[in-house]
Chain A
Amino acid sequence: MAAAQPLLEVRDLKVHFFTREGVVRAVDGVDYSVNRAETLGIVGESGSGKTVSSLAMLRLVPPPARTVAGQILFDGEDLLTRTPKQMAALRGRRIAMIFQNPATSLNPIYSIGAQLTEILTWHEKASRRDAEPRVIELLGLVGISDPATRLRQYPHELSGGMRQRIGIARALLCNPSLVLADEPTTALDVTIQAQILELLAELQARFRMSMVLVTHDMGVVARMATRITVMYAGRVCETADAATIFNAPQHPYTRALLESMPRIDHSYAGPARRVLPSIPGRPPNLLNPPSGCRFHDRCPEAQVECRRLLPVETAVAPGHIVSCLRRGSPGIVA
């Protein structure tokens, strides 16, 4: 299968927030693609646009934000030209979402069973009676013991890990081809996080789904992702397969980000002074983003041209895309 068409292709996506203070360019010309049965990890700090760009795929960007440009090709069709009704039929059925906080993404006043069977009665016009066995089957698949009893329980009766398992079961009910997982384990303790990541990897392989995993945790993407896209200030810095991002990163931001993390497998004890290589300054305010390359004012390799020209995403090797003037990307005046 040479050059199979990706399941999802995001092209030059721009999502801007129209606030009283001005236009915030939260996502400003982003490209990435997700192949079939792979996990794309999108990493970045808060405000890098990783969550907003994934919400845009479901056409769920909240006002005052609007998707102002770009294409989102899902199975070859541009989602941005779909009618709201067509989108509603697609959400939860072909593209499903797993949310960060399982405590707030479940409705507290409906039982687990009511919330899950509703998805099947809505999308597949199944009767509640027919939907229930499927719900029970999925709850079993996500590792919930005694699923028939759980159907009658309410979210507050479950622990955080259990609720996230319910969130995963809910996303998988209609057998979606793409699952968007936005920080699915950030709210959980590490031992529970490990259980949930294992479950996600297992289900993804089993159903051959594609997954977009949005996170700030480099450890989580290393564990889960086939390919990784690194975002900074509403732009893509670098996209490559996971091993390349960690072993041979090209973009200065990717390198700095990896170096600035303390390592659990590294000893810092001893008389020598402990210093982590850190990135000076802080992420920019996107109301008034830096000119040229968004990272230039914090970049150790920046030159005069970086202040003027916006680097264009360029392949430095097959499948390895970098947007940096110092790595040969052409620049445009923006």
Chain B
Amino acid sequence: MSALLEVEGLSKSYPVMERRLFRARQRTEIRAVDGVSFSIAAGQTLGLVGESGCGKTTTARAILNLVQPTEGMVRFEGDDIVPIFRQGDRARILAIRRSLQYVFQDPWLSLNPRWTIGETLREPLRVHRPEAPRTWTARVDELLRMVGLEPHHAWRYPHEFSGGQRQRVGIARALAVEPKLLILDEPVSSLDVSVRAQILNLLAELQDRLRLAYLYISHDLSSVRFISTHVAVMYLGKLVEIGEVDEIFSRPRHHYTRALMSAIPVPRPGAAQTRIALQGEVPSALRRPSGCPFHPRCVAALPVCAEIEPMLPPAEAGHRTACHNPA
């Protein structure tokens, strides 16, 4: 199966001035995303997991050029789209944006409170389908039904809706222009448990019906297990492990992935859970450890880990791990 989206060596650095006592200020950089590569085929979901600050959201934003990538390629249907954004060719940028849409985490902040739901859903049509204004209303009705709302909801304002309904609107807005890939950034994290299942079911159903590809970003591993076909794990801006969902969950090989999985409290009282204790906390991206960025906290670190950075094997191998001493 050929990939819809291929990301290769994607990096995003931010320049910072570092101040340290008794030393001149130093120009340095934070590598928020560092050489990330993966691909997603139509109808598939890549779950991108990791803890806060690991670069998940920056990766997503760099794909859409919401932040400009420092390095790397983002190929969509075979074309590298990074230079297209850089050249600023509006017609081609719009075409890419039609295919790649974003669903935001917080449905309270991502809808304009002064617009009715109908206006919110017509906006992408106004931008991307300006030639056929007569079709907009019918399309808005169709979109609302697709996400389990009613056409009369188009007249309401966001404050009249619950969190779950707002997230349905957020999904409808992303679907308005018939995208091929949705970037879902923590779409259920702010929702209550009983509503979370409804939204996850909706996402699964829409994917099957429309053959959508998803990049699903979350720190909630149980929802990742439900929605994903593949999983990629990030730590300090790097991909440390990637593979098929059941492979990653039942046979995790990177010691960070193993620690992450074992840290999730299983809803089974008295469950014999052997937690792989992680010492300390994620180091600051400014003081990235030498060699493998995880080695100071790793239970299986070897002397080589402090010196040589392990690389993720090339894409041909199915389940890949950037580790000198995998489990």
Contacts and interface: CB of A to CB of B under 8 A. Distances in A.
Contacts of B262: 194
B106 interface: no
A191 interface: yes
A154 interface: no
A269 B246 contact: yes
Nearest to B203: A274
Given A189-B219, A195-B278, A279 B197 contact: yes
Contacts of A194: 262-263, 265, 275, 277-278
B1 to A, nearest CB: 15
A243 B269 CA distance: 6
Interface stretch (B21-29, B71-79, B222-230): B222-230
B222 A261 contact: yes
Interface residues of B, number: 49
Contacts of B263: 190-191, 193-194
A217 B222 contact: no
Nearest to A46: B192
A305 interface: no
A223 B227 contact: no
A315 interface: no
A51 to B, nearest CB: 14
B128 interface: no
B197 A282 contact: no
Interface in A179-228: 189-195, 197-198, 216-220, 222-223, 225
A301 to B, nearest CB: 16
Interface size class of A (residues with CB under 8 A): 35 or more
Contacts of A275: 201, 204
Contact of A267 (B246, B265, B267): B246
A275 to B, nearest CB: 6
A304 interface: no
B192 A263 contact: no
A274 B246 CA distance: 14
A246 B193 CA distance: 16
Contacts of B19: none
Task: Tell me the interface secondary structure of chain B in the complex.
Answer: helix
A276 B194 contact: no
Interface stretch (A27-35, A64-72, A100-108, A252-260): A252-260
Given A264-B225, A273-B204, A279-B197, A222 B265 contact: yes
B194 A260 contact: yes
B293 to A, nearest CB: 15
B289 to A, nearest CB: 16
A283 interface: yes
A268 interface: yes
Nearest to B245: A269
Contacts of A216: 192-193
Interface of B: 51-52, 162, 164-165, 192-198, 200-201, 204-205, 208, 219, 221-223, 225-227, 229, 244-246, 249-250, 259-271, 273, 275, 277-278, 281-282
Q: Report, nearest first, the 7 A-B pairs whose CB atoms are least far apart.
A: A219-B265, A278-B197, A262-B226, A194-B263, A260-B197, A189-B51, A242-B269
Interface of A: 45-46, 159, 161-162, 189-195, 197-198, 216-220, 222-223, 225, 242-243, 245-246, 256-258, 260-269, 273-280, 282-283, 298
Given A194-B263, A243-B269, 9 more contacts: A217-B265, A218-B267, A223-B273, A246-B269, A261-B197, A262-B200, A263-B267, A264-B221, A278-B198
14 contacts: A193-B263, A194-B263, A217-B265, A222-B265, A222-B269, A225-B269, A245-B269, A269-B245, A273-B205, A274-B201, A275-B201, A276-B226, A282-B194, A282-B195
